[in-house]
Amino acid sequence: MRCFGSIDRVLLLSVIFGLFASCGPSPQAGGGIGGTGSVATVSTGPVTGFGSVFVSGNEFATNGTNFTVDGILNASERQLKKGMIILVNGTISEDYKTNQTVQRTAKTILYEDTIEGPVQFVAPDGLSLIVLGQTVLINQSTIIDPSVPDISSLKQTDLVEVSGFVSGTGTVVATLIDRKNSIEATNYQVKGFISQHDDVHQSFTIGSLEVTYTGADISQMPNPARTSWDGRLVDVQGGQVRSGGAGPYGIRLTATTVKPEGFGNKDGEEVEIEGFVTQVLSQGNFYLGNVHVQTSVGTTFEGGAINDILVGAHLEVYGSLVGGIANATKVEFEGETELQANVAAINSADNTLTLTGLPALAIQFDAQTALQGQGNPHSLTDLRSGDHLQIHGQLRGGNTILATEVERSAPASTVQIQGFVMSAADPFLVLFGSSIDTSLIPESGFLGRAGSIGRSGFFANLSNGKTVVLRGTYQANIVTWSSISRGE
C-alpha cells in the first residue's frame, strides 16, 4: 500500500455512524484518588496504523473488539486498511493524579464507505476524481491501494471505494481509494449533504447525484412531509445507478436506504474527532462535518487560533459530549504550512498568487487573511510581482493554500518551503503539485535530524506524506536549491 502525498489524515465527520454512537459504555469510576478510572469515549478518524488499531495517531487496544466492516458483522481487524475512516466506541483509562491517558480500549469499531460507485472523470493532474456525482479530492495523505497502480489508470465506469471526509456539498477529501471488481446489488453508497429536497417527487441531490427514495427505508429520517432534509448529512445506499441528472457529471441513484449521520448524544462521553469545518455559526461555535462543536475560554488551540476556525479548516477536536454537542477542551489545526518566497504572479480575479519555485501552487487570499510588513499592505491589491513574502496558511486540497498570515519583507533572494512529499524519486520530489529537482544540492545539503545524511540517506525510505523543508536562492528567474531537510 502506498500514500499519495500527505497532510496527515482529512473527518469531516461525515463519516460518523449513529448506529454505534449510542452503544458505548457508561463512564466508570475506579481507582480512587491517585488511581485510575475509565470513561466512555467516541472517536472517529482514519486508520493510521496497526498492532492494535491507531485512529488519527491514537492507539486503541482491540482485544475483544466487535468489528463491523461494510455491513459485515463480526468482521476481522484484518479487513481494515490504513486510510479507512472508522468510528470507535470504547473507553479511555486515565490516571487521576496526572490526568494522563493510560490506555484506550475499543469495544466496537465500525467502517462504512464514504462513496462506492463508478468513476465518471479523472483529472489530468491526478488530484481529483468524480465518482457517483461527487468530487473526490486527492491530497498528500490519500492512500492509494495497490489495486490502483496509478490514479491515471482509472477509466470511466471503473468501480471504486472511497473513504474520506465529506468537506462540503458534493466534495469528499479522500483518505483511501480502492478499486472494486464488482458491486453487489444494493451496494452503491454515498455520504454527503442533501440539497434540493423534493418531498412530492421523493427526491434530492448530493453533489451531481440525483437520488430517488421512493420505496426506500427512511425510518431514521425526519418526516419529509413536515421537515425539509436540505443541509442534512446522510448515508444513502442503493441498488440501481443510471445516467442522467443535471450537469456534465449528472447521475441518478435509486435509494434503498437513507439514514442520517450522527455522533451520538450520550452525555459525559469523551470525544476525539478529526474532520473539516462545514459551517461556522459564530466564533468558536461550528460544525465539524455533522458534529456540533463549541469552544470555551478553557479550550486550548494548537497550530492556529479561534479566528482560524473557518469553513474548510482541517481540525482535530478533543472534548466531551453534552446534549449531543462536543464541548472542546483542545482544538488542533492540521496542515499548517509555512513558505518564504517571491511573488511570481498575482491573479486579482480569483484572489490568488503564485510563488517562484512552486508554479503549481496557488496562495488563496480571503477576508480573514492578515497582511502586514513593509509598506503596510492591507490586501492582495497592495502586493506586486517580486515582493518577498512570509506566508502562514492552511492546505486546501493538494495545491492550494489559504493564507492566514502574510508578511511582506525587504526584497530578498531567499526561498524556503515547508511541505509534504506527494511523490519522490531521486533526484526529483513533488511538493504542492510542483516537481522539485534536487540534483544541484550538494551531499552535505541533505539533512536529517542528526545533521547531514547525504543524498542516498535522504531518499532512502522517503515515503509520501513526510514533511521536508527546502532552502534555496532565486536569481534570474531560477531557484537554486542549496539544502533540504526531512522529519520523521
Domain interval for residue 365: 337-408
Question: For 26, which DSSP code?
Answer: P
**In-domain check, residue 256:** yes
CB 449 within 8 A of CB 487: yes
Q: Are residues 425 and 289 in the same domain?
A: no
For 225, the grid coordinates are: 412531509
**In-domain check, residue 222:** yes
Give the pLDDT confidence of 137-160 residue by residue, as tens digits: 887 678 899 888 888 889 888 999
E strands of 283-397, at which residues? 285-288, 291-294, 300-302, 314-322, 325-333, 336-347, 352-355, 358-364, 370-373, 388-395
CATH number at residue 352: 2.40.50.320
**pLDDT of amino acid 380:** 93
CB 42 within 8 A of CB 271: yes
The total of structural domains in the chain comes to 5
Residue 195 and residue 205: Cα distance in Å, rounded?
Answer: 5
Q: Are residues 136 and 237 in the same domain?
A: yes
Average pLDDT, the chain: 83
**In-domain check, residue 265:** no
**In-domain check, residue 119:** yes
Residue 343 and residue 354: Cα distance in Å, rounded?
Answer: 6
**In-domain check, residue 13:** no
Q: Are residues 167 and 236 in the same domain?
A: yes
Q: Which tops the pLDDT comparison, 464 or 196?
A: 196
For 281, the grid coordinates are: 455559526
- ω into 427 cis (within 30 of 0): yes
For the ranges 13-22, 269-278, 374-383, the lowest mean pLDDT is seen at 13-22
CB atoms closer than 10 angstroms to residue 310: 16
Q: Are residues 169 and 221 in the same domain?
A: yes
Q: Are residues 104 and 34 in the same domain?
A: yes
**pLDDT of amino acid 142:** 85
CB 56 within 8 A of CB 46: yes
Question: For 28, which DSSP code?
Answer: B
Q: Residues 6 or more apart from 159 whose CB is under 8 A from it?
A: 116, 117, 118, 119, 179, 180, 181, 182, 183
For the ranges 72-81, 99-108, 453-462, the lowest mean pLDDT is seen at 99-108
Whether the full predicted model's pTM is greater than 0.85, yes or no, is: no
What is the Cα Rg of the chain in Å? 23
CATH number at residue 450: 2.40.50
First to last CA, the chain: 19
Give the pLDDT confidence of 202-220 residue by residue, as tens digits: 999 999 999 999 999 999 9
Residue 91 has pLDDT above 60, yes or no: yes
**In-domain check, residue 245:** yes
Q: Could you say which of 207, 233, 260 is where a domain stops? A: 260
**In-domain check, residue 205:** yes
**pLDDT of amino acid 4:** 41
Q: Could you say which of 207, 231, 260 is where a domain stops? A: 260
**pLDDT of amino acid 139:** 75
Closest C-alpha to 280, from 315, 255, 332, 230? 315
Q: Determine how β-strand 171-180 pairs with β-strand 134-137.
A: parallel
Q: Which tops the pLDDT comparison, 159 or 314?
A: 159
Q: Could you say which of 217, 233, 260 is where a domain stops? A: 260
Residues of 244-257 as b/e, b for ≥16 C-beta within 10 angstroms?
Answer: ebeeebbbbbbbbb
259 — pLDDT class (breaks 50, 70, 90): very high
For the ranges 6-20, 48-62, 122-136, 223-237, the lowest mean pLDDT is seen at 6-20
Residue 112 and residue 250: Cα distance in Å, rounded?
Answer: 24
Q: Are residues 122 and 249 in the same domain?
A: yes
**In-domain check, residue 57:** yes
Phi, psi of 20 (to 5 degrees): -100, -10
Q: Are residues 438 and 400 in the same domain?
A: no
Q: Are residues 227 and 307 in the same domain?
A: no
Instruction: Please state, in angstroms and as integers, the Cα–Cα distance from residue 82 to each residue in 3, 61, 145, following that order.
Output: 10, 16, 9
Q: What is the mean pLDDT of residues 56-65?
A: 89
